[in-house]
Amino acid sequence: MLTLDQDITYVPGVGPRRAELLNKELGIRTVGDLLDYFPYKYVDRSRFYRIAEINGTMPYVQLYGQILSFESEGEGRGRRLVAHFGDGTGIVDLVWFQGAKYIAKTYDTRTPYVVFGKPQPYHGRYNIAHPEIEKPDSSVAEMVRRSAFEQQLFDRQQASAGVEQELFPTTDDAPAAPEPQHPAQPHSALRPAYNTTERMKRGMMQSNVLSRIVSHVLSQLAAPFEETLPASLVERLKLMSHDEAMRNIHFPASADSLRRAQSRLKFEELFYVQLNILRYAKARDRKYRGLVFSRVGDAFNGFYFHHLPFQLTNAQKRVIREIRTDMGSGRQMNRLLQGDVGCGKTLVALMCALLAVDNGCQTCIMAPTEILAEQHLATLRQLLGDMPVRVELLTGSVKGKARKRILDDLQAGHVHILVGTHAVIEENVLFAHLGLVVIDEQHRFGVAQRARLWQKNVVPPHVLVMTATPIPRTLAMTLYGDLDVSVIDELPPGRKPIRTIHQFDAHRRTLNEHIRRQIQLGRQVYIVYPLIKESEKMDIKNLEAGFAQVKTDFPECSVSMVHGKLKPAEKDAEMQRFVRGETQIMVATTVIEVGVNVPNASVMVIENAERFGLSQLHQLRGRVGRGAEQSFCILVTKYQLSDVTRKRIQVMVDSNDGFEIAEQDLKLRGPGDLEGTQQSGMAFNLRIANLAKDGILLQMARNEAAALLDADPAENHPENAVAWQRLQQLRKTHVDWSAIS
Ligand code: ADP
Ligand code: MG
């Protein structure tokens, strides 16, 4: 009998060598770890194919037939054992590059076998490398018959095609009446497929081996799996029990049981993620009083009535109201401000900072890059004009005396708004009375990092996180699940939607003519090259080659170039030349992605657009369309694109809506690839739930978690004990979960 915490080594069929593989490759140490390793797909083994049916598009086939003969082919490392395998409709070659001796000894030419694997065309025939091969059990005969009948029609079509002699006249005893279209799955027709690594495959530890071990373990468990959700919840939501779900997730009794097992386990997973994050938000609310910003005074009103250069949009007004209410409520604000590129978040941040000023508090605005911080500084100073509100900049390049002066004035309370990069989190940056922290464009700021800013004041400051990368709702609920959300869903009036065009790089002449026309109209142009970390050197070479080409193509223009390898001062100088209009073309990497504002720039050309994420493309596109002129975004790609890539580019051409784009991106690529999620330090190693597909379950899980917290704030109702214990256990095993505390 086995228990979940038992070392995997002593499970029959495992042993030290396999245990080490499981351990090293998949982090599996105990019986429980093994059972927590879920299949990534299921294969319907009720369907048998005939060899004559095989075509090049099948991911796998299951065949029933006999080995006609064995043969050894090739020399040296290419040496392999080939078994010619036939079923009366044709022949495929089963091929083994390893373990030939074992195969030749174990299988013979008299016994019928079931063979399973991926067929690949080879020299006018199909072969299956390293197939699964086994003796059929009693249920197979029935399944073969069933499949065989479905193929009768097919057989008739093939009758004239010179079918070989029938080895197994299975069609003779096929049932006379047609079967239902989708006959009920016989037990175990759905077989699990487990992901295995290259090393595991070489160690003869393929999916089917793993599956055998799991099957054995499940049958030998000393006790049923304990329930991991409160009984009332399981009952009310009619969830499958944990025990049943764990068994069915590996070996589904039917397609329906599999669906139920999956939803149960997904729900459970999402439920605990949400319980963890909501519990954290609640505890935070209880623990910290917030600063009360009750006054609306000269700073706010003076700006609103005398300095605001335009009418606020309705969305800006609504959001400012939400934030004001929140900051006046007596609890600490933790709010996410979402709004598409160019919707005017900076202005909202400024007006909130002015509220802080009116209440005797300082504000700190954090930007991800120096350029952006500098631009914020310039924007804020310009908007404030002659108002007695002092804004200063603190970045890594502010040094020496200047730095000391700013730090001193900050501590004395003479600086009202400090704009900066990560430099502002440093310990020696001290405020007199920090009341508001604004984090701009920060996907990359985890909960724990945000919390560090609180230590800058006795009462933790209000926190406003602003993001222009629209995050799909499901992702926001997980990534920023502890934050209240405000959305600016409206652009300032008078903006012309940007026209997005997909162009193949072979059509460069047309592209260049287009660029030239815009420059002749007095506009400026961005040309962006991808820069992906792993191949940075090569990318810089690409960029430099591109730069040279642009200079040749446009001899009449001045061209700037900016990339991440430049020193901040050089980068800044180049940027400034473009901002002032001294250069017409800016060749750059994605360093210009965030925040740069040059209203006269009307064309954004993105080279190798297929290498960018959609949200990133959208951000880049947001650099143009800031003036009154018609702007263009041109996505340049090579001619041959995969289906997914083609779709992704099309999404960009069709939509200007950042939220829609983010949703599509999530659907096409999955959350793991979404920008910012890897660095976020949040629980994205979801084992079974999928943020792109399980939105409804996620919402349900969030509601249930919130309800549980409301009903049992002291966490001491006996019927919920199972949930609190489970949460505690998960926080021990998920490092990133307890980073939230
Ligand atoms: P983002 O939300 O992307 O940070 P910004 O704050 O940079 O956007 O604003 C983009 C541009 O829109 C700026 O030039 C800003 O001055 C302008 N803007 C902001 N609010 C309004 C408004 N209500 N009416 C007109 N222009 C506005
Ligand atoms: Mg901005």
- Asked if residue 664 belongs to a domain, the reply is no
Q: What domain range includes position 146?
A: 45-187
Give the residue among 134, 116, 108 at the shortest CA–CA distance from 48.
116
Q: Which one-letter DSSP state was computed for residue 591?
A: G
- End-to-end, the C-alpha distance of the chain in Å comes to 39
The number of the ligand 1 atom at minimal distance from the alpha carbon of 440 is 4
CATH number of the domain to which 630 belongs: 3.40.50.300
CB atoms within 10 A of CB 299: 22
Residue nearest to atom 26 of ligand 1 (CA): 492
Give CA–CA dist 445/439, Å, rounded: 8
What is residue 699's three-state secondary structure? helix
CATH number of the domain to which 115 belongs: 2.40.50.140
The number of the ligand 1 atom at minimal distance from the alpha carbon of 441 is 4
Q: Where are the beta strands (DSSP E) in 152-281?
A: 190-193
Give CA–CA dist 454/436, Å, rounded: 10
- Asked if residue 179 belongs to a domain, the reply is yes
Cβ 43 vs Cβ 258: under 8 Å: no
Sheet order of strands, 362-366 included:
391-394, 417-420, 362-366, 434-440, 462-467, 334-339, 484-488
Per-residue pLDDT at 168: 31
- Asked if residue 586 belongs to a domain, the reply is yes
- Tell me how far the alpha carbon of residue 244 lies from the centroid of ligand 1, in angstroms: 55
The number of the ligand 1 atom at minimal distance from the alpha carbon of 622 is 3
Which of 347, 372, 618, 621 maximizes ligand 1 atoms within 8 Å of its Cβ, making it the mutation to test the pocket? Answer: 347
- Mark which of 627, 655, 683 sits at the end of a domain: 655
DSSP string, 224-247: PPPP-S-HHHHHHTTPPPHHHHHH
Taking the CA of 347 as reference, the closest ligand is 1
Give CA–CA dist 666/478, Å, rounded: 14
Give CA–CA dist 737/727, Å, rounded: 10
* Contact residues for 298 (Cβ-Cβ < 8 A; gap 6+): 358
Token match 């351990």: residue? 23
- Tell me how far the alpha carbon of residue 80 lies from the centroid of ligand 1, in angstroms: 67
Residue 447 CA, distance from chain mean position: 18
The number of the ligand 1 atom at minimal distance from the alpha carbon of 312 is 23
- Asked if residue 359 belongs to a domain, the reply is no
- Asked if residue 596 belongs to a domain, the reply is yes
Give CA–CA dist 619/622, Å, rounded: 5
Per-residue pLDDT at 134: 85
Cβ 714 vs Cβ 219: under 8 Å: no
Residue nearest to atom 9 of ligand 1 (CA): 344
Give the residue among 209, 213, 183 at the shortest CA–CA distance from 196.
209
Pairing assessment for the beta strands 41-44 and 190-193 based on DSSP bridges? antiparallel
Q: Is the dihedral of CA 385, 389, 390, 391 positive or negative?
A: negative
Give CA–CA dist 473/156, Å, rounded: 53
Beta bridge partners of 635: 502, 606
Beta bridge partners of 561: 587
- Mark which of 621, 655, 689 sits at the end of a domain: 655
Give CA–CA dist 237/131, Å, rounded: 42
Reading the block at residue 374, the tokens are 């500098």
Give CA–CA dist 628/630, Å, rounded: 7
Pairing assessment for the beta strands 334-339 and 484-488 based on DSSP bridges? parallel
Give CA–CA dist 404/237, Å, rounded: 61
- Tell me how far the alpha carbon of residue 150 lies from the centroid of ligand 1, in angstroms: 64
DSSP string, 400-436: HHHHHHHHHHHHHT--SEEEESGGGGSTT---SSEEE
- Tell me how far the alpha carbon of residue 336 lies from the centroid of ligand 2, in angstroms: 14
Pairing assessment for the beta strands 601-606 and 632-637 based on DSSP bridges? parallel
**Alpha-helical segments (H) within 295-358:** 298-302, 314-327, 345-358
The number of the ligand 1 atom at minimal distance from the alpha carbon of 311 is 23
Task: Quote the longest CA-to-CA distance of the chain.
Answer: 97
Give CA–CA dist 427/416, Å, rounded: 19
What is residue 212's three-state secondary structure? helix
**Secondary structure percentages of the chain, helix, strand, coil, to 5:** 45, 15, 35
Query: Is residue 87 packed enough to be buried (19+ CB in 10 Å), middle (13-18) or exposed (0-12)?
Result: buried
Per-residue pLDDT at 674: 46
Residue nearest to atom 19 of ligand 1 (CA): 344
Cβ 501 vs Cβ 635: under 8 Å: yes
- Tell me how far the alpha carbon of residue 595 lies from the centroid of ligand 2, in angstroms: 5
Query: Is residue 242 packed enough to be buried (19+ CB in 10 Å), middle (13-18) or exposed (0-12)?
Result: buried
Query: Is residue 601 packed enough to be buried (19+ CB in 10 Å), middle (13-18) or exposed (0-12)?
Result: buried
- Tell me how far the alpha carbon of residue 263 lies from the centroid of ligand 2, in angstroms: 39
Give CA–CA dist 29/23, Å, rounded: 6
Instruction: List per-block mean pLDDT (blocks of 10 residues) for the chain, which spans 741 residues.
Output: 92 91 94 94 85 85 93 86 93 90 88 90 88 80 66 44 31 33 46 89 85 94 95 96 97 93 96 92 84 95 95 96 95 89 91 97 89 87 95 92 96 96 86 94 62 76 84 73 86 88 92 95 93 65 87 94 81 85 91 70 94 85 86 94 91 89 78 44 66 84 94 94 94 65 41
Helices 345-358, 314-327: crossing angle, 10 deg rounding: 30
Per-residue pLDDT at 163: 31
Residue nearest to atom 4 of ligand 1 (CA): 345
- Tell me how far the alpha carbon of residue 633 lies from the centroid of ligand 2, in angstroms: 19
The number of the ligand 1 atom at minimal distance from the alpha carbon of 488 is 2
Taking the CA of 368 as reference, the closest ligand is 2
Give CA–CA dist 444/50, Å, rounded: 53
Q: Which residues line ligand 1 (CB under 6 A)?
A: 310-313, 316, 339, 341-347, 468, 492, 597
- Asked if residue 643 belongs to a domain, the reply is yes
Token match 């978040």: residue? 345
Give the residue among 331, 378, 294 at the shortest CA–CA distance from 595.
378
- Asked if residue 313 belongs to a domain, the reply is no
Token match 């669906």: residue? 259
Number of structural domains in the chain = 2
- Mark which of 630, 655, 680 sits at the end of a domain: 655
CB atoms within 10 A of CB 78: 8
Reading the block at residue 393, the tokens are 């900049």
Give the residue among 266, 439, 443, 473 at the shortest CA–CA distance from 367.
439
Cβ 666 vs Cβ 469: under 8 Å: no
- Asked if residue 301 belongs to a domain, the reply is no
Cβ 692 vs Cβ 671: under 8 Å: yes
